[in-house]
Structure 1
Amino acid sequence: MWLVLCDPADRAALWAHEGLRKRGLEPLELLSPQALLGSTRSVHRVGRHGASFEVVLPDGRLLDSREVSGVLNRVAAAPFGLLPFDTHTDARYAQEELSALLLSLLTCLAPVAVNRPCATGLCGAWRSAAEWTVLAARAGLPVPPARISSSPDREPDGDPTGSDGVLVLGEHVFGPPSAKQEEDAEDGEDAEACVRLARLAGTDLLGLDLHRDGGHRLVFRGASPLPDLRSGGDPFLDRLLDHLTGLPEAAR
């Protein structure tokens, strides 16, 4: 069984689910964090040799984590909208407990998940702009001058001529032709730097925001473990299918 875990309003994840289904990935389930946490019965085992869970979903189906072969994990946060508490303190406590439970459940799926959860993000680490910039510079991507301001709404300096949304999945880079398909050495080096950044971030799937400056050089502007997958088009879906079905048996 394969899963696409996402919020019901995540259009990019719904697009990926439909694309994987059309490519013959079966059985493939679409599952929301609301359904995972809203189970009518659950068993969560944590022991010396690993962890697993069994949950009865709201529609009556049984989900056993040990039967999952691959996951596209798009869970950004635990759903808190329906918490029935009168005080902020009680609601905050319940939020923390739900987040901890969801993190523990997702960790059971981590060996076969794209992306894996961690302590600072349920679908990969969330970092500040400064942290991403440091990692991008270490990876070899050109970065804008770092400026620290007391005004959080201040726009970055510079006059970029265009923006390219780029996806990295494993060793592969996907995005607009201006970001990856020009046959010259500079663009090849940029693609390699994007892959290095994803490695440094510890994530299988990473979205990058790159801008062309006045000299048509790609400059790093930001990154996210929850990118818009649609920018990768059909080539990205083809590779995602290979990635999910090519996980080693030892990891399952």
Structure 2
Amino acid sequence: MTLPLQSTATMIAVGTGALLWIAEGILPFFRVRSSRGRHAFVNLGLAATNLLIILPADIATAAILEQTGATFSGLRGYLPDGTPGTIAMLLLLDLWLYLWHRMNHEIPIFWRFHAVHHSDAELDVTSAWRFHPGEILLSELVRLPFLVLTGAGIRELIIYNLLMNPVIQFHHSNVRLPERYDRILRTVIPTPLLHRLHHSTIRSEHDNNYGALLSIWDRLLGTLLIGPVEPTKALGLEGTSGPDWQKWSTLIQKPFRG
């Protein structure tokens, strides 16, 4: 069952990305200051590089979870069977991603890598995949003990990704969404308005709104920030978001520079 589910998750992610890319060209929120194609090329170049880590890591994770799951059920053993247990596990996976994202802002060594994501001054759907390979590797390594302890299964991970990836693409997108719709949606999921504040050049703003799939964790843990965002708002990081930094090779080197 997991292979067809993974294929469905991949098709949904690709389809959502394509639709949002088209929508950004029709109803952009921010004025595009450079070539959309060049911007996407850099971001998707990083994404392609990260596949060299993600694919073998996913295979290894699946093997480890299958091996450990045969003798150790973890927290999953205390959850109800069926749909209620699956929903509880999905909530735990989303809480983990919130906490991991927050750690990337609060722990200096993690921030050095995560800053590559935040150095994008022109937020759009391709920004959802702009991550340094070092961050991806750290994420896979740090997440594994959590998955073992919770007893998460491969099927639940795939279902979570199926739901989470389109939402992440949506809240990174440069689509002009009427405020009333954004207000309704952000009661459940992170929205473009919330995530534009998260990508602000102002540190007190971008250290908020960490949610991936659900906005509930920001609400419960005091990191929800709601405020006006104008189309002229500056995004990115001071000093490292200029054109000279927007190259694959430069972004790869960024965490290792002073």
Q: Normalising to structure 1: TM-score of the pair? A: 0.26
Query: 1 or 2, which has the higher strand percentage?
Result: 1
Structure number with the higher helix fraction is 2
Q: Relative contact order (C-alpha < 8 Å, sep 6+): which is higher?
A: 2
TM-score, L = length of structure 2: 0.26
